[in-house]
């Protein structure tokens, strides 16, 4: 029967899969409903780069054929999803969110899209993004071909960058899940701002072949979903060795949270200042309540803080040095001036002034950071911290400027406690995985809580996240669309 109940658009992967196998509706009917919804509402949030209705319906017909014959390829078989527009999709534009690449077309799909296709997932559209995934630093959320990503909870607010369209689309029920990318916060931030559950995998666990490169040693692809379970199911499909990605770790992920250690054996590190002084006043109570919920799980607790390093400057130098090579032709040709954000243009041009000496110095400091963070995890198994200390900012408000040349590593500033507030640059430099989950609201806007752990230990994050979401309903709440 046709999809008539709007609640379908908020179901998880497992729930939709069960309905497809029970023949409550066909995959074609489900896909048409999602395509209609995506094309109708995505412009409201500046979320859609390229609709893929015809291709999606064709794929859905194949899925229905499989289901008719009793074939079930994977948990995502027949599930509609979207993908950030830095992932190559054959014979359609892959714009990287930027005017200079508006007509760019590739012949082959990105590895993650190929894997999802083989698993039977249905790609309904390419989703908007900040131009060049934010390379160069941008001052305004409007730095995108589609305009600023607007938050479905309040369209005067930003959905977060640079996976802005992915955050908006999943939050508004336009896709069941989306594939985003992170170099320094671009999965975690839009997920937190939009009330999603999302997973940034260990560096190298998911192939980036066919994805726009920003920083070869920092870039990661990951799922942005409705629930922790959904993140694990998608990660199982998209992970694995790929010879086309030199950064591939040669490892796969298998969804098996039931085999993780007992919670009573797990040591969780936290920093009191992350919860009682750093968050904005309207965020402190809900964030503290989220921490208190984890403290009822029988875990061991230890106060910690990040080692003293200039994480932001080091990451900026590494990213800038690598992005200068990636976008050298764009910059030297003058086409960089076609970008929407003048701050970003200036930032990209400044990357060409980064010397090999400064880049290598940053990489040496990065090695020290990785060693110290590795030591940190001798004493704890998991870290817990707010994803962001505030809710989403205004869609027309300037962000903190990142113009100019990437600074050289400097001594850390003194003053307020370090805590874990710099977890985004620190853990991206280290290549460690993170899971963010919705945990309440500051006013009418979602907040997120993040768990971090050792490389290739995603099942521990999943197990803890499942326990949290079994006792809370924040991940089940959605905006009115």
- 121: three-class secondary structure by DSSP: coil
- Looking at residue 411, its pLDDT comes to 37
Helix axes 27-45, 164-171, angle to 10 degrees: 120
Q: Which of 397, 437, 426, 189 is nearest to 311 (CA)?
A: 426
**β-pairing, 445-453 with 382-386?**
antiparallel
Distance CA 123, CA 175 (A): 9
Helix axes 458-470, 228-238, angle to 10 degrees: 150
Choose, from 17, 159, 186, 227, the residue flagged as catalytic.
186
Describe the strand order of the beta sheet including 122-127 as a list of residue ranges: 48-51, 122-127, 80-84, 177-182, 220-225, 197-200, 434-442, 445-453, 382-386, 267-270, 300-303
Choose, from 26, 59, 74, 84, the residue flagged as catalytic.
84
The residue behind tokens 């489900």 is 30
Choose, from 26, 142, 144, 162, the residue flagged as catalytic.
162
DSSP-assigned letter for residue 86: T
- Looking at residue 417, its pLDDT comes to 78
- Looking at residue 414, its pLDDT comes to 52
- Looking at residue 129, its pLDDT comes to 98
Distance CA 110, CA 91 (A): 12
Q: Percent helix, strand, coil in the chain (nearest 5)?
A: 40, 15, 40
Q: Does residue 414 carry a catalytic annotation?
A: no
Q: Which of 354, 387, 396 is nearest to 139 (CA)?
A: 396
For the chain, what's the residue count? Answer: 481
**β-pairing, 267-270 with 300-303?**
parallel
| Domains parsed from the chain with CATH numbers | 6-263 (3.90.1300.10)
- From residue 118, give the alpha-carbon distance in Å to each of 27, 34, 62, 113, 124: 16, 20, 11, 9, 15
- Could you give the angle at the alpha carbon of 181 between the alpha carbons of 179 and 182, nearest 5°? 145
Low-confidence ranges of the chain (pLDDT < 50): 401-413
Q: Which of 455, 458, 341 is nearest to 399 (CA)?
A: 341
Which helix (H) or strand (E) covers residue 237, if one does? helix 228-238
Quick check: 385 and 271 in contact, CB under 8 A? yes
- 226: three-class secondary structure by DSSP: coil
Q: Does residue 186 carry a catalytic annotation?
A: yes
Q: What is the DSSP string of 375-421?
A: HHHHH-SEEEEES-SS---BTTSPPPP--SSPPPP-PPPPSS--TTT
Q: How far is CA 45 from the centre of its chain?
A: 18
- The model's pTM is 0.96
Q: Does residue 335 carry a catalytic annotation?
A: no
Cα torsion 183, 185, 187, 191 to 10°: value is -170
Cis peptide before 162 (omega within 30 of 0): yes
DSSP-assigned letter for residue 20: H
Q: How far is CA 80 from the centre of its chain?
A: 18
Instruction: Kindly tell me the burial class for residue 352, based on how many C-beta atoms sit within 10 Å of its own C-beta (0-12, 13-18, 19 or more).
Output: middle
- 266: three-class secondary structure by DSSP: coil
């Amino acid at each position: 029967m046709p999809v008539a109940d709007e609640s379908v658009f908020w179901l998880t992967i497992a729930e939709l899969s069960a309905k497809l196998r029970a023949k409550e509706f066909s995959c074609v009917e489900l896909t048409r409903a999602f395509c209609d919804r995506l094309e109708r509402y995505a412009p409201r949030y500046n979320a859609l780069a390229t609709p893929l209705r015809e291709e999606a319906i064709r794929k859905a017909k194949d899925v229905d054929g499989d289901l008719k014959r009793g074939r079930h390829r994977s948990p995502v078989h027949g599930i509609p999803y979207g993908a950030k527009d830095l992932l190559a999709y054959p014979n359609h534009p892959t714009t990287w969110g930027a005017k200079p690449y508006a007509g760019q077309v590739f012949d082959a799909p990105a590895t993650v899209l190929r894997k999802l296709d083989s698993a039977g997932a249905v790609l309904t559209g390419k989703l908007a993004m900040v131009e060049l995934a934010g390379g160069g630093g941008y001052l305004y959320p409007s730095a995108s071909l589609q305009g600023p990503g607007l938050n479905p909870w309040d369209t005067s607010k930003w959905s977060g960058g640079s996976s802005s369209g992915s955050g908006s689309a999943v939050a508004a029920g336009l896709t069941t899940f989306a594939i985003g990318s992170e170099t320094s916060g671009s999965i975690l931030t839009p997920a937190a701002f939009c009330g999603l559950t999302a997973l940034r995998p260990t560096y190298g666990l998911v192939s980036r072949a066919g994805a726009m490169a920003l920083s070869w040693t920092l870039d990661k692809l990951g799922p942005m979903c409705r629930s922790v379970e959904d993140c694990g199911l998608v990660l199982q499909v998209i992970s694995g060795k790929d010879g086309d990605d030199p950064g591939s770790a040669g490892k796969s992920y298998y969804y098996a949270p039931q085999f993780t250690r007992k919670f009573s054996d797990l040591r969780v590190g936290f920093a009191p200042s992350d919860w009682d002084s750093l968050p904005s006043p309207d965020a402190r109570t809900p964030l503290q309540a989220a921490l208190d919920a984890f403290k009822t799980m029988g875990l061991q607790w230890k106060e910690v803080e990040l080692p003293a390093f200039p994480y932001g400057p080091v990451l900026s130098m590494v990213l800038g040095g690598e992005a200068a090579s990636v976008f050298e032709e764009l910059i030297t040709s003058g086409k960089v001036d076609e970008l929407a954000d003048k701050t970003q243009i200036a930032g990209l041009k400044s990357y060409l002034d980064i010397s090999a000496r400064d880049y290598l110095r940053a990489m040496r400091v990065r090695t020290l950071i990785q060693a110290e963070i590795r030591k940190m995890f001798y004493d704890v198994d998991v870290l817990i911290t707010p994803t962001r200390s505030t809710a989403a900012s205004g869609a027309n408000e300037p962000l903190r400027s990142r113009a100019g040349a990437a600074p050289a590593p400097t001594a850390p500033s003194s003053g307020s406690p370090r805590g874990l507030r710099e977890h985004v640059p620190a853990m991206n430099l280290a290549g460690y995985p993170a899971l963010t989950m919705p945990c309440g609201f500051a006013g009418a806007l979602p907040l997120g809580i993040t768990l971090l752990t050792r490389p290739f230990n995603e099942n521990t994050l999943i197990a803890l996240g499942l326990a949290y979401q079994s006792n809370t309903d924040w991940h089940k709440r959605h905006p009115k669309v």
